[in-house]
């Protein structure tokens, strides 16, 4: 929803920048998470490493989980108090008025409706007709996406987000496994093993993950969304193919692997990880934007769940390099599907939607 909230309020000429700025908070959260993990691990170093209290790892992950819940809960109240945007307010008023006109006959009652829009003391007949507006959002969604020219955009945003999250979370959620497979994580002692993994994650975040967001922020209003998304998918696929094809060699060269991994994280964010967030918030009009953005994001998370559950199992069957080959293929497929999307730089979806509706009258 954060994308829809920003898009509803943003100036068109700076919309991409503001959406990317919002999404970049994901990177700062990732950095903060790595730092918190290192701090908590350091606090338990003596008991785990010095006294062999392996059970204290339970306290470590519980403390980390508790700490990261604090900012999430802190923003909840602010989000609940955030007023609806002017654009969405207008859409809701128009929707109520339309359903009221459909449900009530007679010019004198219509005048009553006009007088009572937004009035909580409306007559029972008007209130009953307003209740029908709750179904209006779904009918509008069905009507809008019954046309292929709109449906293909929804297909593209959902499919691209799904394919992106297969590789993005396939790597991110199994990063320690990949690092261990190439030999960077050679520590036998459990505490040192966990600390080295966290340190590697911190290096990758600072060197590649975070800068990628800000490159997108700088270039998105100059070169557009579509080139960044297609280019990101292609480079991700190429880097994954390089790592997969040279996996055995890289296992003896941890530095070379880390360079490839840092570049991969950079082009995730200076690429499709950011634009799949931006596209649904820009390409669809306000009346269906939240719904379409939610479906697109949900499809992405389906990809994330599949990646999280299947990466380890597949690695045991076909090896980590085999899984990376699959992810390279999904990245290239994402670039192909991205061709269905138009460039949304300077695009006003509400204006285009109003023009289309006027033509149908």
Tokens 């692997």 map to which residue? Answer: 257
Q: Which of 169, 186, 157, 156 is nearest to 323 (CA)?
A: 169
Give the residue extent of every domain in the chain: 12-82+147-352
What does the DSSP assignment read for 140-198?
HHHHHTTSHHHHHHHHHHHHHHHHHHHHHHHHHTTHHHHHHHTTS----SHHHHHHHHH
Outline where the chain has alpha helix (H): 2-9, 15-23, 25-43, 45, 56-81, 86-103, 107-116, 124-131, 136-144, 148-172, 175-181, 190-204, 210-223, 225-245, 247-250, 254-269, 272-283, 286-337, 349-360
Q: Is 3.40.50.10490 the CATH number for 12-82+147-352?
A: no
- At residue 103, the pLDDT reads 55
Q: Which of 355, 353, 343 is nearest to 87 (CA)?
A: 353
The answer to whether the predicted template modeling score (pTM) of the entire model surpasses 0.85 is no
Q: Write the CB contacts of 248 (distance below 8 Å, at least 6 apart in sequence).
A: 321
Kindly report, residue by residue over 252-304, the tens digit of the pLDDT: 777 777 788 889 999 999 999 999 999 999 999 988 888 899 999 999 999 99
- At residue 10, the pLDDT reads 76
Kindly report, residue by residue over 308-339, the tens digit of the pLDDT: 888 888 888 898 889 999 999 999 999 999 99
- What's the DSSP call for residue 82? P
How far, in Å, CA of 160 to CA of 65, rounded? 30
pLDDT tens for the chain, 361 residues long, are 677 777 777 788 889 899 999 999 989 998 998 899 999 999 998 888 877 788 888 999 899 988 888 888 888 877 777 776 656 566 556 655 666 555 555 444 445 544 554 554 444 544 444 444 455 667 888 888 989 999 999 999 999 999 999 999 888 777 666 666 555 555 568 888 888 888 888 888 898 889 999 999 999 999 999 999 999 999 999 999 988 887 777 667 777 777 888 899 999 999 999 999 999 999 999 888 888 999 999 999 999 999 988 888 888 889 888 999 999 999 999 999 999 999 999 888 888 888 887 877 6
- At residue 40, the pLDDT reads 92
- At residue 274, the pLDDT reads 94
Kindly report, residue by residue over 10-24, the tens digit of the pLDDT: 788 889 899 999 999
- What's the DSSP call for residue 343? P
**Separation of CA 198 from chain center:** 23
């Amino acid at each position: 929803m954060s994308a829809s909230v920003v898009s509803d309020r943003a100036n068109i000429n700076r919309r991409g920048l503001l959406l990317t700025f919002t999404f970049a908070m994901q990177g700062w959260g990732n950095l903060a998470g790595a730092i918190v993990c290192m701090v908590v691990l350091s606090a338990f170093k003596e008991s785990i490493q010095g006294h062999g209290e392996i059970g204290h790892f339970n306290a470590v992950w519980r403390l980390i989980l508790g700490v990261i819940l604090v900012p999430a809960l802190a923003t909840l109240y602010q989000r609940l108090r955030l007023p609806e945007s002017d654009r969405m307010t207008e859409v809701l008023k128009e929707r109520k008025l339309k359903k009221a006109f459909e449900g009530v006959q007679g010019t004198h009652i219509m005048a009553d409706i006009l007088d009572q829009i937004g009035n909580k003391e409306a007559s029972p007949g008007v209130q009953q007709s307003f209740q029908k507006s709750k179904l209006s959002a779904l009918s509008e969604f069905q009507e809008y996406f019954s046309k292929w020219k709109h449906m293909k955009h929804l297909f593209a945003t959902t499919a691209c987000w799904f394919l992106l999250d297969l590789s993005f979370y396939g790597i991110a959620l199994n990063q320690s496994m990949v690092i261990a497979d190439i030999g960077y994580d050679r520590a036998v002692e459990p505490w040192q093993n966990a600390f080295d993994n966290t340190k590697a994650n911190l290096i990758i975040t600072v060197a590649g993950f975070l800068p990628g967001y800000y490159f997108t922020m700088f270039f998105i209003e100059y070169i557009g969304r579509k080139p960044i998304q297609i280019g990101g998918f292609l480079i991700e696929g190429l880097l994954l193919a390089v790592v997969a094809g040279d996996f055995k060699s890289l296992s003896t060269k941890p530095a070379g692997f880390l360079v490839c991994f840092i570049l991969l994280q950079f082009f995730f964010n200076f690429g499709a990880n950011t634009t799949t967030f931006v596209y649904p918030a820009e390409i669809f009009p306000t009346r269906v934007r939240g719904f379409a953005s939610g479906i697109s994001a949900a499809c992405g998370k389906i990809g994330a769940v599949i990646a999280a559950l299947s990466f380890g199992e597949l690695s045991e069957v076909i090896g980590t390099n085999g899984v990376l080959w699959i992810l390279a293929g999904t990245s290239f497929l994402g670039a192909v599907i991205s061709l269905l999307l138009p460039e949304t730089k300077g695009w006003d979806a509400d204006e285009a939607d109003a023009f289309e509706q006027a033509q149908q009258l």
